Chain A
Amino acid sequence: MSIFVDENTKVLIQGITGNQGAFHARQMVAYGTKVVAGVSPGKGGQKVDDIPVYNSVKEAMEHHQIDASILFVPAKFAKDGAFEAIHAGVKLLILIPEHIPLHDAMAIMNFARAKGTTVIGPNTFGVVSSGKCKIGIMPNQYFVPGPVGVVSRSGTLSYEIVGSLAAAGLGTSTVVGLGGDRVVGLNFIDVLARFEKDPGTEVIVLVGEIGGTAEEEAADYISKHISKPVLAYLAGKSAPPGKRMGHAGAIIERGMGTFEGKVKALNAVGVEVATLTFEVPELVSKVLLKKAM
C-alpha cells in the first residue's frame, strides 16, 4: 500500500518539452510511472518519446484520464500553469519550481482549496510510492519498496536519508516532499494522517529543518493522533541564525523554530531525533526490531 499515488495513477507533465521536463519525463517512465500525456503550449501534436503532447491541460484531459499533474515551468509562469491544472480539474498537483513569488503561492493554495485539489510543493522533489509510481525529480535507484514512510521539507536531504535506508536494506512505502518554500500545499500533519491509515507503512520518518513551526505542530499532532512509531531527523544544528522575518513574522512563531526548540518538542512526545543522516537507519532498524518482538 501507499499514499497519494500508486501503480494506477495516470500522470500529466506540464512543461514536458523543456530541458528539465523532458529529462524527468524519461526518468519517471523508466521508474514505471504511467505518464499518459504532456502539455507545452504551441507544441501540441508533438511527442516526447511515446508521450503525446497537447497545447493545454484541458485538451489533454479531453483525451486522457489524468489523476495527477507535475509542473516544470519557470517560476514566473507557475501561477498560470497551476491555475490551469486546478481549473481543468486535476486533483493532485505537484509543483517543482523554486522561487515562485509568495503571493502567487498564496493564490494557488487558495484556489486549490476551493476546487478540492491537493498541492504538493512548490519547491518540492515530488512524491514517490516506491516501486509503483514516482512523480518528481528524485533519482530512481534509491526508492525501493519497504515499510518506511518518509515526509520531508528538503529534497536532497531526503535522497540522502532514503539512500542510507536503502543501503541498510530498508525500503520505503511512500516518500513525500513538502517543499522548501514558506507557503506550501501540504504540511507534516496532512501526511502523517495519511501514513497512520496506510497499512503499508510501519514506521514514519519525519525529515525537518530549522525555521518555521511545522515540526512543533507535527509533534503536537503525533501525541494526539499517531499510533505508529515516528522518528525524526533535523538539519541545521550548527547553522548560524538565519535572516529572519520582521517582528510580525517572529510573533507568529513566538520563539519557536530553533533547532533546540524542535528537538525538545519532538522528544517530549516520544519522537527520537537524529542529527546526523547515518543515524537514521539505525534508529529505524531499532524500532522495527522492537515492533517484531
Chain B
Amino acid sequence: MKIYEYMGKELFAKYGIPVPKGRVARTPEEAGQITAEIGDAVIKSQILSGKRGKAGGIKFTASPHEARKFAAELLGSEIRGFKVDAVLVEEKLKIDKEYYLAITIDRGAKCPVVLASVQGGMDIEEVPEEHIVKYHVDYSIGMMPFKTKYITSKLKLPAEEAAQVQEILVKLYKMFVELDAELVEINPLVVSAGKIIAADAKVIIDDDALFRQKDLPYVEEKTESEKKAHELGLAFVELEGNIGVMANGAGITMATLDTLQYFGGSAANFLDAGGGASEEATAKALELVLAKNPKAIIINIFGGITRCDDVANAFASVKKKRGIPVPVVIRLVGTNQEKGREILREVGIEAYDTMHEAAQKAVELAAANQ
C-alpha cells in the first residue's frame, strides 16, 4: 500500500526525522491559512505518483491570497491520472544540496538494503551505479551505529552532515521495521543552511502486514472490481481484451493469457483465484469475470491445494442461480478431478484436459460471438 507524501511526513515527524514546517489542506481556505502562518510556501498536490512538478502539481507562493487561488486550481483537478483531494502546504526550503536516502528489501539477499547517494533530487534510476552506496542490513542486528558511520563515510559527508544523516538512518530503519514497510524513500534529502531535512516522503507498506498495522491510514488505489477481488483474497487486474479468464495461481494465469494470445485472442482480465479458494470465493470470482461482459470465458484449473470439485460446484451454482450468458470453456485437472468433471457434466459441460485445447476453443468461441 502506497501512502501519500503528507502521511509519510507525519510518520517521519513522529519518528523524529526532520521535515519542513507545514501541513495538509483540503480546502483553499486552509491552504491560505497555513501560508499566512509559514510565509514563503510550496503547495504540493497529494497524489500517489512522482513527477508532480513537471505535471504542474507543485506551486510556490508567499501570498495567502495566491495560495488560496493555487489550491482552488489544484484541488479536484486530475494530475497524472490521479484526482487531487488534498494539498500539502509547507515552508519553501532554501536548498543547498540534495541527497538520496532509501531503505527497501533486496529479494536476492533476503534482507533490508540501504540505498544512499549524494546525487539526489532526480530519478534514482538515472544516477550512475558508482554514485550509489548500497548497504545490506542483517535483520537480526538492525541499524547499529557502526553501520550508519560506514554509510556516511562512503558518502564522504562532512562531519556535521554525517552526524545528522546517521541519526536519520537509525530512525528511518526503526520506522521501516515497525511499520512493515517495503520502501521508505527520501528524495531529496535536503541540506538547508546546515540542517538536513526530508523534503519528500515515499512510503510503501507491505499489504500482507496491514492486519497488524491498524494505526496507519488506509489508502485505496484500486478500481472497484480490483477492490472487490482484493476483499475476496483474489488477485484481479482489468485488461483490454474480450475473453474472461479465471485460473488458480499467478503462474498458470499468466500462462493462460500467453496461450490465448498465441491463438490470436486476448484476455479481458487477469484473475488468479489463488490456491485453495473455497466454493464461495470461487463463485464470487466468477461474478467478477462476468461483470466485464466478456465474449467468452475460460476457466483453467490445475488443482493442487485447490480441489476440482469445489470449483465445479461453484460454477454449477452460479450457472443455476444467475445463468451464464456467454460460452464457457473449462479445463479441469488435478486434485479430485473426476468428482469435479462429474459435477460439470450434470450442468452440460465437458471439461478439457489441456490448457492449449481449452484456450484455442475459447478464442474460437469469442470470435464467433462478436
Contacts and interface: CB of A to CB of B under 8 A. Distances in A.
Report if A and B associate in a common complex: yes
B249 A251 contact: no
A248 B125 CA distance: 8
A187 B109 CA distance: 10
A111 B138 CA distance: 11
Given A101-B208, A209-B254, A238-B257, A155 B107 contact: no
A246 B185 contact: yes
Nearest to A76: B211
A138 interface: yes
Contacts of B104: 245-246, 248-249, 252
A225 interface: no
Contacts, number: 193
Contact of B252 (A110, A160, A183, A276): A160
B261 A237 contact: yes
A102 B206 contact: yes
Contacts of A180: 250-251
A248 B108 contact: no
Contact of B124 (A76, A101, A110, A248): A248
B261 A238 contact: yes
**Interface core residue of B187, B258, B274 (most chain A CB under 10 Å):** B258
5 contacts: A96-B305, A98-B274, A111-B140, A160-B355, A182-B107
A187 B140 contact: no
A153 B250 CA distance: 10
A242 B128 CA distance: 25
Contacts of B302: 139, 156, 159-160, 163
B349 interface: no
Nearest to A101: B209
A102 B252 contact: no
B249 A156 contact: yes
Contacts of B121: none
B139 A106 contact: yes
Contacts of B239: 240
Contact of B102 (A236, A248, A275): A248
A278 B258 CA distance: 12
Contact of B304 (A107, A156, A236, A242): A156
A100 interface: yes
Interface in A148-192: 152-160, 163-164, 180, 182-185, 187
A217 interface: yes
B3 to A, nearest CB: 12
B257 A239 contact: yes
Interface stretch (B9-17, B145-153, B175-183, B289-297): B175-183
Contacts of A105: 110
Nearest to A238: B261
B334 A98 contact: no
Contacts of B266: 238
Contacts of B261: 237-238
Nearest to B203: A246
Nearest to A213: B108
B115 interface: yes
Given A109-B111, A276-B259, 17 more contacts: A24-B305, A101-B180, A101-B206, A102-B208, A106-B105, A106-B139, A110-B140, A137-B304, A156-B275, A159-B302, A164-B354, A207-B251, A235-B252, A254-B125, A277-B356, A278-B355, A278-B356
Contacts of A238: 254, 257-258, 260-261, 266-267
Nearest to B140: A110
B237 interface: yes
A209 B250 contact: yes
A276 B262 contact: yes
A239 B303 CA distance: 23
Contacts of B105: 102, 106, 182-183, 249
Contact of A251 (B132, B212, B247, B250): B132
Nearest to B117: A251
* CB-CB nearest 5 A-B residue pairs: A154-B251, A156-B249, A157-B251, A101-B209, A156-B252
A103 B334 CA distance: 33
Contacts of A158: 251
Contacts of B111: 106, 109-110
Nearest to B335: A139
B111 to A, nearest CB: 6
Interface in B310-341: 333-335
A156 B110 contact: no
A110 B251 contact: no
Interface string B84-121: 00000000000000000011111110111101000000
A286 interface: no
B276 interface: yes
B303 A139 contact: yes
Given A138-B304, A240-B237, A278-B354, A235 B251 contact: yes
